[in-house]
Amino acid sequence: MTIRHNKRPSSQALDDAVAQSIRDFSDPIEIEEELLVRTEQPTTQMSILPDVSKSSKLANEKIQRKHKTNVSLALAGSILNNVSTLQLKTLLAGQIGRYCAIFRIVEIVIFDDHDAGSGYVDSTKEACALMRKLLEYQVMPQYMRKSLFGIDQDLAFASLLHPLATPHHMKMDDFSKYRDGLTLDRKSAGGFTMANCGLGSDVVLDRKLKPGICVTVKFEKDDWENGEIVSPKEPFKNGYYWGYSIRTANCMDDIFCHPNGDKYELVLGTSDKGELLSDINLPDVKTMLIVVGGVQGLEFAFENDEKNASSDCATNFDFYVNCCANQGSRTIRTEEALPIILTSVNEKINFL
């Protein structure tokens, strides 16, 4: 079937003719090239992008980064109240843990934003405690979990937690310079403490310790029967991602208190009310804290802080940023926001 036109057809006629040709598997439609260019104006007004500002031009300038940034993450434990059953809470916590492992988060800070749901302001300490327990279970090597956690009703659905598959989660036949272990109530012939490092046989440590202590063990060459206890930070210094640590903040001020007393060099707050991350440049730092709010955002958390209520949330951060401009949904859940935020920040500072 060949269709020839003596006059310019309407766009609807073109669409109908093409569709009919496809359905009939007939000869191709012969239409002059200029007729394929539609002249009608769109029926809806398209949004016009704003002019590039000076700040965005500065944001495109390349910063020479000398440090690999260690990124910590703070989030509201109340997000577990957004789902109803323990199964769903376990899945949600497992999703958070997976994102943190993928993006090499070194520390997770769980804070209480007092959001008990439906705008009701109340303490959500139980949700924070459950979030911490689930994340601690998930980050712990498999061969140590039973001894440390035992039988716990909160962990009834722990099998739903996705494996982190991080370097410190090793099988029996995986060999590495470092392994995490748990000290046992057993001594070697020389009187030294022995530990379960997931190798099938217990490892003799280089010192005497009480049982039930988590330790990081270093092995020399091919000697898997004897190990040296080292700092948990040593694998990180040698390029291994050794999982995340977890702490709980009792108030909003505690979020910014580093466990060793140091301050985070850069603190980012995230909100749809912040300035676009694409319009700013982040400085070269060694430590960074990213704070993500709960269902009602960081503004709600600071307004209802028990110790230091603050109506101006943005003043608590070095940068208050929006990582998802022009979002189509009215709200973005915390578990949905995490990969967006961490990807956007990584593009800025390349911390992976």
Domains of the chain and CATH, by start? 1-37 (no CATH), 69-166+243-349 (3.40.1280.10), 178-235 (2.40.50.140)
> Given this model, what pLDDT does residue 341 score?
96
> Given this model, what pLDDT does residue 325 score?
85
Tell me the residue length of the chain.
Answer: 352
> Given this model, what pLDDT does residue 123 score?
79
Residue among 300, 301, 297 at smallest CA distance from 334: 297
How many C-beta atoms surround the C-beta of residue 327 within 10 A? 14
pTM for the complete prediction? 0.80
> Given this model, what pLDDT does residue 327 score?
86
> Given this model, what pLDDT does residue 333 score?
92
> Given this model, what pLDDT does residue 121 score?
79
> Given this model, what pLDDT does residue 56 score?
39
- Supply the DSSP string of 150-163, one letter for each residue: -S-GGGTTGGGSPP
Do 113 and 309 touch, CB atoms closer than 8 A?
no
> Given this model, what pLDDT does residue 40 score?
42
Tokens (6 digits) for 333:
């859940």
Can you tell me the distance from the alpha carbon of 227 to that of 215, in angstroms, rounded to the nearest whole number? 11
Q: Which residue type sits at 319? A: F
Give the helix ranges, DSSP H, for the chain. 11-24, 54-59, 86-102, 125-139, 142-149, 233-237, 297-303, 334-349
- The residues pairing with 76 across neighbouring beta strands, listed in sequence order, are 111
Can you tell me the distance from the alpha carbon of 267 to that of 275, in angstroms, rounded to the nearest whole number? 14
> Given this model, what pLDDT does residue 62 score?
60
State how beta strands 319-322 and 266-276 pair: parallel
> Given this model, what pLDDT does residue 76 score?
94
Tokens (6 digits) for 188:
């070697």
Can you tell me the distance from the alpha carbon of 162 to that of 135, in angstroms, rounded to the nearest whole number? 11
> Given this model, what pLDDT does residue 326 score?
84
Give the residue ranges of the chain where pLDDT is below 70: 1-64, 118-119
3-state secondary structure of 240: coil
> Given this model, what pLDDT does residue 249 score?
92
Tokens (6 digits) for 330:
């009215």
Can you tell me the distance from the alpha carbon of 196 to that of 28, in angstroms, rounded to the nearest whole number? 73
